[in-house]
Amino acid sequence: MSASYDVDAFKSVPSSSQVQTTISPITGQPIVTRPLLSDSAVLSLVSNAHAAFASWRQVPLADRKAIILKAIDSLVAIAPELGAEITEQMGRPVRYGKGEVAGFEERARWLINKAESALADENVDEGRPAGLKRVIRRAPVGVTLLVGAWNFPYLIQVNALVPALLAGNTVLLKPSPQTPLCSERILAHLLAAGLPKDVCQVLHLSAAQMDIVVAHPLVPFVSFTGSVANGRHVEITAANATGSGFKGVGLELGGKDAAYVRADSDPAYAAENVVDGAFFNSGQSCCAVERVYVHESIYDTFVAECVKVVKDYKLGDPRKEETTLGPVVSQRSASAIRAHIADAVGKGAKALIPEIHFPEAKEGTPYVAPQVLVDVDHSMLVMSEETFGPVVGIMKVKDDEEAVKLMNDSPYGLTASVWTKDLAAFEAIVDRIDTGTVFMNRCDYLDPALAWTGVKDSGRGISLSRYGFDAVTRAKSIHVRAI
């Protein structure tokens, strides 16, 4: 632990008798325990955040930016340490840990640089009568609850945290019980950089306590990342809250992201990138490629290239530098992934990767062998429900029409990718693909300059880009007549 990281600071508030335990998927042993807050402490922390909002919103934007920049710099300086902690908590190979911190930095710096223009007053001069001044101002909403996920704990939190603080809001961070140290690290470095007390707080909560915070009249905005079922619960809880007006809710939920490999693409290039988009982080990404549609003329070549790439993965202890594929987050998750594979094979699919290539993959453990499935269709779970593991199904299609129809045949709509050398062909179908993001010749990447959003069961609302600031602010119209 770094000198600035005081674990006891997160145990000093009144707690209940309940304890939250993080089990490492590497060893199956507990590695972090945190007492859950008492209900009275939860209410006090919300009140403290509300009180801190009055002064924080008055702090000049330049000063807010300086504090956050200082915190980012100090976090980046210990990237290897943070990466190792991520590995221990959720099992991603340590060789990739610094990459998440780099992505965290990239997004944070972009948002900091964009804040001034995104939050600036808009003077409305068009059609303005003489003697009037008209301004649209972005005002902070107040206390924001940001509920993170374990699969990319730094990347997910930065999307809403940095805009919320820059806009003058106070923040309650509710981390996943699987990765509690990441939120605690962020808070410790913000405080060391000069963030006033209670402007940002970490809350370890039970499910019932999270409902209390979501419904609290002093919390006008909730950003939630997680499952569709839990996202619906958050939205219903917020909608049913009384005494606080209508709440804003941003939901970043599941995905069943599709890739379409056109006849004119380079099969080897597409295969290398699609496999990476499918299996990075053991497939535990909301925007991982989970189903692939390939033009019949290059189908066999593409599939062969995918198998070649997959067989080069090294499944094993993620603490070793040579490991490229670690365990999934839990035995429960591993069982669900294996059930998807079994369902597909039982319905006629063919598995192309013999498990003998990955002896570390064993039943009853979170170590799952990567798998490529062919002869699949949409009656199979692996092509219709979110698998969230190192598995991909590949289908043959005859043309763009069939590909688009199959890509849209899903309750999800987060991202999709098209692999082609023909920009005009891409432009001809991009607006017909029902997702928040459509890539051409890349996948599984969030550009901080672009709006991160989903449709259908993948959620609603926006983070990142200039529009991400709109989620944590409200428009306030100022109409002045000089006399």
**Residue in 143, 205, 208, 215 with CA at minimum distance from that of residue 180:** 205
Residues 39, 162, 195, 246: is their CA dihedral positive or negative?
Answer: negative
* Dist CA 159 CA 300 (whole Å): 39
Residue pair 399/388 in contact (Cβ under 8 Å)? The answer is no
H/E stretch holding 8 reads: none
Q: Kindly give the residue spans of alpha helices, DSSP state H, lying in 193-227.
A: 207-215
Secondary-structure breakdown of the chain: helix, strand, coil percentages, each rounded to the nearest 5: 40, 20, 35
Radius of gyration of the chain (CA): 23
Instruction: State phi, psi for 172 to the nearest 5 degrees.
Output: -110, 115
From CA 365, how far away is CA 24, in angstroms rounded?
A: 12
Distance CA 171, CA 165 (A): 7
Q: Catalytic residue among 200, 286, 287, 443, which?
A: 286
Three-state secondary structure call for residue 250: strand
Q: What single letter denotes the amino acid at residue 405?
A: K
| Whether the Cβ atoms of residue 249 and residue 232 lie closer than 8 Å to each other | no
Q: What is the C-alpha separation between 150 and 156, in angstroms, rounded? A: 9
CB–CB of 461/453 below 8 Å? yes
Specify whether the CB–CB gap between 318 and 94 falls below 8 A. Answer: yes
Can you read off the two tokens belonging to residue 286? 């909301």
Helices 97-118 & 79-90, crossing angle to 10 degrees? Answer: 110
For residue 286, indicate whether it is catalytic: yes
- Give residue for tokens 């909730």: 222
115 phi-psi bin (left φ>0, alpha ψ -120 to 50, beta other):
alpha
Q: Which residues are catalytic?
A: 286
